[in-house]
């Protein structure tokens, strides 16, 4: 199931694979600063992850989450629902792709039981640097 999650609670990624723009992840003090003073706009050209507006994507994402719950959309169908929502909202190609990754069963950010998470090791720091407060993560639920 997809659920809302505080970006600042996501674990610090390691190992990191984008040394040019995210050499050591986001330090704790910058996480707090960006939550108080978010950075809006200012897409950078260093990598895909910094190439767009995570604030806009996450605003759409939270709207998609509410609508999929209200309409009882199955988790496997949420990515397609999100892509359709992005098209109606006039999202850019980057925003549509970013939104789709967050609702993709294969690419969604998945907090693990330990101190890390599966997927999102580049998206999460980019969101943290922008000061995004809430995102959506995927949790696997036993239906027993």
Per DSSP, the residues of 5-74 read EEGGGSPPPSS---TTT-BTB--HHHHHHHHHS---S---SS-GGGSS-HHHHHHHHHHHHHHHHHTT--
Q: Is 143 within the bounds of a domain?
A: no
3-state class of 136 per DSSP?
A: strand
Q: Is 76 within the bounds of a domain?
A: yes
Q: Is 38 within the bounds of a domain?
A: no
Q: Is 82 within the bounds of a domain?
A: yes
Range of the domain at 130: 2-11+45-138
The whole-number pLDDT of residue 41 equals 61
Q: Is the peptide bond prior to 80 cis by the omega test (within 30 degrees of 0)?
A: no
Number of domains in the chain: 1
Q: Is 7 within the bounds of a domain?
A: yes
Per-residue pLDDT tens over the stretch 15-52: 456 666 766 656 667 667 666 666 666 566 788 888 89
The whole-number pLDDT of residue 114 equals 60
pLDDT average, residue stretch 124-138 = 86
DSSP class of 2: E
The rounded mean pLDDT for the chain is 83
Q: Is 31 within the bounds of a domain?
A: no
Q: Is 83 within the bounds of a domain?
A: yes
Q: Is 16 within the bounds of a domain?
A: no
Considering the entire predicted model, what is its pTM? 0.83
| pLDDT band with cut points at 50, 70 and 90 for residue 111 | confident
């Amino acid at each position: 199931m997809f659920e809302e999650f505080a970006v600042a609670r996501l674990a610090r990624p390691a190992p990191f694979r984008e040394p040019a723009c995210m050499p050591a992840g986001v330090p704790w003090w910058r996480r707090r600063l960006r939550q108080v003073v978010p950075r809006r706009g200012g897409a950078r050209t260093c990598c895909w992850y910094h190439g767009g507006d995570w604030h806009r994507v996450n605003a759409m994402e939270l709207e998609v989450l509410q609508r999929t719950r209200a309409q009882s959309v199955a988790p496997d169908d949420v990515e397609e629902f999100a892509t359709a929502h992005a098209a109606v909202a006039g999202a850019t190609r980057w925003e549509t792709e970013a939104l789709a990754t967050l609702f993709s069963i294969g690419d969604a950010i998945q907090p693990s039981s330990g101190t890390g998470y599966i997927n999102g090791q580049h998206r999460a720091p980019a969101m943290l640097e922008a000061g995004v407060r809430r995102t959506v993560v995927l949790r696997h639920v036993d239906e027993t």
